[in-house]
Amino acid sequence: MYIIIKKVGDQLKKSTKRIIYSIGFAIFLVSFIGMIYFGYKTFYIEKESDSAIEYAYHFVLIAEEIDNEYWRLVEQGALKAAAEHEVYLEYLGPPKADNVQLLKLFDRMISAQVDGIIIQGAEGQKFVDLAFKAIERRIPIITVDTDVKSSLRNAYVGTDNYYAGQLAGKTIIENTIGEQYVGIVMGRFDSINQQERLAGFKDAIEATERIQIVGRKQSNITQIGAAQATYSLLKEFPSINTLVGTSALDGIGMVEGLREIAPNKDIYITAFDVLPETLKLIQEGKINTTIAQYPAEMGYEAIKLMIDFQQHDVLNKEVFTQTKIVDQNDVNRFRTGELK
């Protein structure tokens, strides 16, 4: 009896040992595979971050307002060129249009000693001084969308804003008859490109007596701002029968503002830019014409030029991107890309 019990006991001990060894082995196997897998992953990530510091250049693009739809298009074009040329592109901008913050970012990027800065030009001596500081430190500067001609920037890439303003004037001369009392909604009074567009517009209509500007207000480059500006313009000057918006969201906001204050009034509207909503409103007959700019092209060309500057010193170059009038006849061809 004792022998039988002992044998069964030994048997049990052996199989328990076997089970423990098997579990031990299984744990070892899982850990080993895990080690190889995670080890590979770590190695792989390291390889990736290795290549992240292999970019040829580090450029910065500073926008008037970081999340503005128009500036996101400039960014898109810049990113495309950056991807084609091994450029690390940093996209920055104030959350709301604000020159003080824009200039702070400019200064900070100069101190960071990046390889090149592409920035919207801003009014005032501070911008000129910072551009000078950057050039002294051999950081090329390209103004994009808005130029500061008095600065030492290496180049400007963007619309000829004076000419674009003239085009806006032309659409009103050609498409309206009789007295026109014009209300203007501008992005910001202190933006150089807005001032240039206004100057071009004024010069274009100067000789046409039946067209005169009666009032202007700023939208702070927001749709809601443009709606409010339109509302107060029409309240103050009920004679207005033409509206001109000189920045990308003004046309959309003007339609919104009109819906509130004068939904049945027949008003001729000229907008700026070809954001999808603006094209839709043209198609619906709520906006008559718009002045097309090419923000993605600006971003793309600015990066290419910045790469050139890394090798050669070029001063005072102006690269004008296209500008054209778009009306209801062009909208579809414009959307499909047939008309560029």
Which spans of this chain sit near ligand BGC (rule: CB under 6 A)?
A: 64, 68, 70, 145-146, 187, 193, 221, 247-249, 272-273, 293
User: Which residue in the block uniquely carries the two structure tokens 């579809």?
Assistant: 332
**C-beta of 194: minimal distance to ligand BGC in Å?**
7
Closest approach of ligand BGC to the CB of residue 63, in Å: 7
Side chain identity at residue 28, one-letter code:
F
**Sheet with 155-158, side-by-side order of all strands:** 87-92, 57-62, 116-119, 141-144, 155-158, 317-320
CB closer to ligand BGC out of 140 and 225: 225
- Between the alpha carbon of residue 129 and those of residues 157, 182, 309, 313, the distances in Å are 20, 37, 20, 20
| 199 or 262: CB nearest ligand BGC | 199
CB of 153 to ligand BGC, least distance (A): 16
Q: Least CB distance from residue 197 to ligand BGC, whole Å?
A: 8
| Look-up of token digits 């209801």 | 328
Instruction: Find out whether 289 and 325 touch, Cβ atoms under 8 Å.
Output: yes
Run of H or E including 45: helix 2-52
What are the DSSP calls for 113-139, one per residue? Answer: T-SEEEE---SSHHHHHHHHHHHHTT-
Q: Which is nearer to ligand BGC, 77 or 187 (CB)?
A: 187
Nearer to ligand BGC, 87 or 281 (CB): 281
Least distance from ligand BGC to the Cβ atom of residue 312, Å: 28
228-237: burial string, b at 16+ Cβ within 10 Å, e else? bbbbebbeee
| Least distance (Å) between residue 302 CB and ligand BGC | 14
Complex with ligand BGC: residue 145 or 160, whichever CB lies closer: 145
| Minimal CB distance residue for ligand BGC | 248
191 or 241: whose CB is closer to ligand BGC?
A: 191
